[in-house]
Amino acid sequence: MSEYLLILVSTILVNNFVLVKFLGLCPFMGVSNKLETAIGMGLATTFVLTLASVCSYMANEYLLAPLGLEYLRTITFIVVIAVVVQMTEAIVHKTSPLLYQVLGIYLPLITTNCAVLGVALLNIQEQHSFLQSALYGFGAAIGFSLVLVLFSSMRERITVSDVPEPFKGNAIALITAGLMSVAFMGFSGLVKF
Amino acid sequence: MSFLVLIIVFSILGLLLGFVAIRFKVKGNPLVEQIDKILPQTQCGQCSFPGCKPYAEAIAKGEAPINQCPPGGEAGIAALADLLGVDPLPLNEENGVEKAKMVAVIDENTCIGCKLCIQACPVDAILGTAKHMHTVIESECTGCELCIPPCPVECITMEPVHETLALWHWQKPSDTEDKAN
Amino acid sequence: MKLWRFNGGLPALAEHKNESIHLAIETAPLPKQLIYPLSQHIGAAATASVNVGDRVLGGQKIAQANGVISAPVHTASSGTVVSIAEHPIPHPSGLPAPCIIIETDELDEHLAPSPIEDFRQSPISELINIVREAGIVGLGGAAFPTATKLDVQNKSSNIQTLILNGAECEPYISCDDRLLRERAEKVIEGIDILLYILGAQQAILAIEDNSPETFKAIQKATAEYANPLISTVKIPTIYPTGGEKQLIKTLTGKEVPAGHIPADIGIVSLNVGTVYAIQQAIVEGLPLTTRIITITGDGVKKPHNLEAKIGTPIKDLIDCCNGYTSVAERLIMGGPMMGFALPTDEIPIVKASNCILAASSQEVATEKDPMPCIRCGQCASACPASLLPQQLYWLSRSDQFQKAEKLNLFDCIECGCCDIVCPSHIPLVQHFRYAKSAIKSQRLEKQSSDKARDRFEAREARLAQEKAERAERSRKKKEALKNKEKPTLATPKAPLPSDNVEN
């Protein structure tokens, strides 16, 4: 039990995928202009990451490993992730066309989100069980969503403030992200993992 | 052997995708309604589309940029940018500049009652009939200026709207940056 | 009596009451002209019910109320209506509005008043009607039609507490204070009438604790009137404790929810000047034609309170105070916190005018250049409505009106506490006023663009209909022609006379 709690704390705070491992920076910078968009993106990524994490684990465990096809791992994982993202895209398009329009290109770009492939591959590397893989993926996504929401709230306030001209836009956003990263360093050593 | 397995697995995944694509098919485009709500409904055609709805459809399809509407002005562009999650663009001055709200006024001494302006008005804001005096209903006029070209005696002019107590509003205080600099 | 404290406020704001409070109320003389704007209240403007050239008597109705949220207007003295036209009115825009202008004659004839002996013999609806017909509106500054406020039985609200607002928190203004010192018994009688109308369980008359003489006067009057439901209380002098919602919080600890009125939590609050007007209308049968107004500031020679006729041009009132001094710089309607500057003294006073401040340059806050916001948060600590002025400032400044509205921009009472405490001298209230009126303009524009869309679509539908009808008609005609031709071909041709000629 405590082991699963540890996985969650580790992936959400201590080894946050965006601020500590520096994966998934593309949607982090691209979708964080507005809070509503960020929340939508966070939910979409959570759905994709958890499902992809589980599916890739199962693909590796029941298909690739028994047949000795480990060298096809990367291709298989990418195909699995692409299918999951396409499904998510169709569902989002139907349920919330505005969110679909607003996310724009970043929704199919979840396919190339290195956090998603990273989670899938790390599960294999760490030799996680089924439940551990699922929790790892879920925790990674929650950590991603948390940081995305925090960052977009800050960005909304920074946009309307008196930012010096050379720093406006992405420059001040990256500085903020760096400072957030430094803040999250405070969690290191919390979990011996 | 591995090839075969892969082909089978990927085919299954492809079929799954196809099923999802059909099951979650989206009909129509509700985004168009939301864009149309933001546009000022002047129906003037300055955006080079025959009305506000066609322009909204073009924006939804991604065929037109959001900065084509002068009556909507900067505020309209900002609202569209906010809705679509894109950066606001400056108004495309080729279509016209943002002006204060104007209404059309017919000079009754010159009007010949030819009905050409009535046919041109997209919101039926001109009252009148053949060989009788025409007049613009001020409260319904959107300032689109479509009535001015058809008039054969050039008796229609645009005048700024009467400022009444009901329409008056506070001005924005000057920015701290301007004053501090 | 237990008192609560609202958030923030300015306890140490200089009061400046001494300038005008020591002299008794003087009745201002009859002016040569009385100018009556048709809109002196919240709601629809009244409609004139006299014509140019009519002779009117004092107390006569000259404009009808227009709908439920509206009030009639009465003239204070006899004279002739010389015009009904646009005239400058007291409004921050400086724009003119329709007014009835009456040239007074020296006769000062009045209509016979219709007093009521014992108001408890009259049904409540009749008393409310008298208040409505007397043209009474909130005299504390808001000018909401009082009869509509009192008519709570229709809304089935249960009113437990009646609050009488004698807490004149804005600096310089002392009209309510003098009214309570000199005419407390009539105000207490007015409270009694209101208790009868509203059926409330208690009435609390509250004044600030900076005026012990006034408190003695109201205590004496309450004891003499001997209605056990009426009590008096002194509250701490903090600006803006006289704001309706702040006063309710101070006296009852309850907060009026955003978007609601005090009646929704069982409370009705009225200014003491309004209560006096109600007593005058019911017991003495007089419509609202005069009010107590403070003329003060370093810019007048004799600052004090006047009982002035509504419609009097301000210059006549200044003359009654022995004229301007040499340091008079600006003319302000209202107090230094919530008042606005006037362009000329030809403007008349209206029902809601409680003070004219002829300010010298010392008394007007010098407009310092605003510096950038340092995010100190003093404004939020000072806000009596518990809002976030700093956030509202950033949002108003960047025109993000929807977000500002979500942060309860419309609950701002524009008291000016945040302005005073801001170390960067940012004119916060100006930003909020701009944002509020921008949102209102946007709403109006949206309404008119929705209407334009409906008209456009109706027109398109009509044109399509006409086109379809034309197509239908021409199709029918074509068919009819075809049917006509067929029988002609089938029957043999009859021989023509020309055939025989040819042969």
C395 chain-A contacts, CB cut-off 8 A: 160
Average pLDDT over residues C308-312: 95
Q: Is the peptide bond before C348 cis (omega within 30 degrees of 0)?
A: no
- Chain A contact for C372 (CB, 8 A cutoff): yes
Residue A147 in domain: yes
State pLDDT tens for residues C28-69: 999 999 999 999 988 889 999 999 999 999 999 999 999 889
A157 chain-C contacts, CB cut-off 8 A: 394
Token pair, residue A7, equals 């996985």
Percent of chain C predicted with pLDDT > 70: 95
Indicate the SS3 state at residue C307. Answer: strand
Under 8 Å between Cβ of C377 and C3: no
Neighbours, chain B (3 or more CB pairs < 8 A): A, C
Q: Which of A138, A176, A133 is nearest to A154 (CA)?
A: A176
β-sheet bridge partners, residue C404:
none
Separation in Å, CA of C21 to nearest CA in chain B: 34
> Is the Cβ pair C400, A157 closer than 8 Å?
no
In C61-128, which ranges are E strands?
61-64, 73-74, 79-88, 96-104
With cut-offs at 50, 70 and 90, classify the pLDDT of residue A121: very high
Sorted by sequence, the CB contacts under 8 Å of residue C15 that are 6+ apart come out as C171, C210, C237
> Is the Cβ pair C97, B165 closer than 8 Å?
yes
Residue A121 in domain: yes
Portion 52-71 of A in contact with B at CB < 8 A:
59, 63, 67, 69
Q: Does the pLDDT value for residue C339 go beyond 80?
A: yes
B24 chain-A contacts, CB cut-off 8 A: 90-91, 93-94
CA closest to C440 among chain B residues:
B169
Number of domains in chain A: 1
> Is the Cβ pair B85, A83 closer than 8 Å?
no
A162 chain-C contacts, CB cut-off 8 A: 372-373
Under 8 Å between Cβ of C101 and C117: no
Dist. CA C133–CA C127, nearest whole Å: 10
Sorted by sequence, the CB contacts under 8 Å of residue C395 that are 6+ apart come out as A160, C401, C403, C404, C407, C435
Phi-psi category of B41—alpha, beta or left, where left has phi over 0 and alpha has psi -120 to 50? left
Indicate the SS3 state at residue C137. Answer: strand
β-sheet bridge partners, residue C101:
C35, C83
pLDDT for residue B45: 82
Indicate the SS3 state at residue C298. Answer: coil
State pLDDT tens for residues C21-35: 999 999 999 999 999
State pLDDT tens for residues C157-216: 689 999 999 999 999 999 999 999 999 999 999 999 999 999 899 999 999 999 999 999
CA dihedral for C410, C416, C417, C421, sign (positive or negative): positive
A35 chain-C contacts, CB cut-off 8 A: none
With cut-offs at 50, 70 and 90, classify the pLDDT of residue C503: very low
Residue A135 in domain: yes
pLDDT for residue C502: 47
Q: Best interface-test mutation with B: which of C449, C450, C465, C466 has the largest number of B CBs within 10 A? A: C449
With cut-offs at 50, 70 and 90, classify the pLDDT of residue A16: very high
With cut-offs at 50, 70 and 90, classify the pLDDT of residue C488: low
Phi, psi of C4, rounded to the nearest 5 degrees: -110, 175
Indicate the SS3 state at residue B56. Answer: helix
Of A141 and B98, the one with more pLDDT: A141
State pLDDT tens for residues A47-96: 899 989 999 999 899 888 888 888 889 988 999 999 989 988 888 888 88
State pLDDT tens for residues B53-83: 889 888 888 888 888 888 888 888 888 887 8
- Chain B contact for C367 (CB, 8 A cutoff): no
Given the structure tokens 């000629």, which residue do they identify? C501
Helix (H) or strand (E) holding B135: strand B135-136
CA dihedral for C83, C88, C93, C95, sign (positive or negative): positive
pLDDT for residue B178: 46
Given the structure tokens 């049904």, which residue do they identify? C123
Dist. CA C275–CA C181, nearest whole Å: 15
- Domain range enclosing A15: 2-187
CA closest to B87 among chain A residues:
A33
Separation in Å, CA of C449 to nearest CA in chain A: 23
pLDDT for residue A104: 78
Sorted by sequence, the CB contacts under 8 Å of residue B147 that are 6+ apart come out as B104, B117, B120, B121, B126, B136, B156
> Is the Cβ pair A160, C372 closer than 8 Å?
no
B61 chain-A contacts, CB cut-off 8 A: none
Token pair, residue C418, equals 């945040």
Give me the domains of chain C, ranges plus CATH numbers. Answer: 18-320 (3.40.50.11540), 371-457 (no CATH)
Average pLDDT over residues C429-433: 94
C397 chain-A contacts, CB cut-off 8 A: 160
Tell me how crowded residue A3 is: count the other CB atoms within 10 A of its CB: 9
- Of the candidates B9, B30, B31, the beta carbon closest to that of A63 is on B9
Give me the domains of chain B, ranges plus CATH numbers. Answer: 30-95 (1.10.15.40), 100-162 (3.30.70.20)
Burial of C47: CB neighbours in 10 Å, binned 0-12, 13-18, 19+: middle
Dist. CA C433–CA B56, nearest whole Å: 33
CA closest to B19 among chain A residues:
A87
Q: Best interface-test mutation with A: which of C388, C393, C394 has the largest number of A CBs within 10 A? A: C394
> Is the Cβ pair B122, C456 closer than 8 Å?
yes
pTM attached to this predicted model: 0.85
B3-7, C456-460, C462-466: range with lowest mean pLDDT: B3-7
- Chain C contact for B26 (CB, 8 A cutoff): no
B39 chain-C contacts, CB cut-off 8 A: 449
Residue A8 in domain: yes
Residue A192 in domain: no
A97-106, C205-214, C379-388, C481-490: range with lowest mean pLDDT: C481-490
Percent of chain B predicted with pLDDT > 70: 93
- Of the candidates B43, B123, B170, the beta carbon closest to that of C433 is on B170
> Is the Cβ pair B176, C440 closer than 8 Å?
no
pLDDT for residue A90: 87
